[in-house]
Chains A and B, each alone.
Chain A
């Protein structure tokens, strides 16, 4: 059994399966690409080295995406207090309240 990078295992059999509890770093945004790579490796269409290179490319993309997500999260977190303050300043609770109900008399 060959242990590839990123915790993927290759048994040499076309119907190999990834072990349970694998620590895969597969890009969750593009699972199809990883599956295609696995199949191509299993069918012998690409070598283990080519597979490794492609996985690295996928992992790199994933890292970029993760970095971008991190920035987005940071921006989102930074924005929340300001938005909360704005809501307090112009919030509905600060508006004068009035009842339009008429007395029955």
Chain B
């Protein structure tokens, strides 16, 4: 089974002097809750990890132009995730939010969709601009490996009080710039 996590947002040009760049990131975690290597951080600078089981489909810096179409996607092939990966945490952050003084409330429409890739069937959806308006980072959800080896998706939709760099530190990565 292949699932797709999609992020979409639309800029509110009337109220913004500067574009808002929202990023989708996947942390492929071992049983200790950390990444084994930099390859297990899936984001705009690393489009593939987990031995090819997880792919980032490209960075978008301006949001969607077609209504409700995902601007960034992470595609996960559940059948080929290596055994050492026990969890995949999906997060959304605003790029350089502190510098640009931006938050989720400054965009007119932002959503995260989790869907079954082949059937294009939506499993869940969040609206970021309403519930997370004053924040700049959130956990979308996480895939958890079960004892049977199957994966289940746990929706989180919870705030993370920090940046993408803070998330990297939390999951065992050193940010070098």
Contacts and interface: CB of A to CB of B under 8 A. Distances in A.
Contacts of B36: 96
A1 interface: no
A98 B172 contact: no
Given A99-B45, A102-B44, A92 B174 contact: yes
A97 B44 contact: no
Question: Which size bracket describes the interface of A in this complex?
Answer: under 10
B172 A97 contact: no
Interface-centre pick from A95, A96, A98, A100 (highest chain B CB count, 10 A): A100
A100 B172 contact: no
Contacts of A102: 21, 44-45, 59, 61, 95
Contacts of A98: 38, 41, 45-46, 168, 173-176
A2 to B, nearest CB: 69
- Chain B binding surface, main DSSP class: loop
A98 to B, nearest CB: 5
Contact of A101 (B46, B168, B173, B177): B177
Interface-centre pick from B59, B61, B175 (highest chain A CB count, 10 A): B175
Contacts of A101: 45, 177
A97 B174 contact: yes
Nearest to B45: A99
Given A100-B45, A102-B44, A95 B176 contact: no
B174 A99 contact: no
Contact of B177 (A92, A95, A96, A99): A99
Nearest first, the 10 A-B pairs at minimum CB distance are A96-B38, A95-B174, A97-B174, A96-B37, A97-B176, A98-B173, A98-B38, A96-B173, A99-B176, A101-B177
Interface of A: 92, 95-102
Interface of B: 21, 35-38, 40-41, 43-46, 59, 61, 95, 164-165, 168, 172-177
Given A98-B175, A99-B45, A101-B45, 11 more contacts: A95-B172, A95-B173, A96-B41, A97-B175, A98-B174, A98-B176, A99-B175, A99-B177, A100-B43, A100-B175, A102-B44
6 contacts: A95-B174, A96-B36, A97-B175, A97-B176, A98-B173, A99-B176
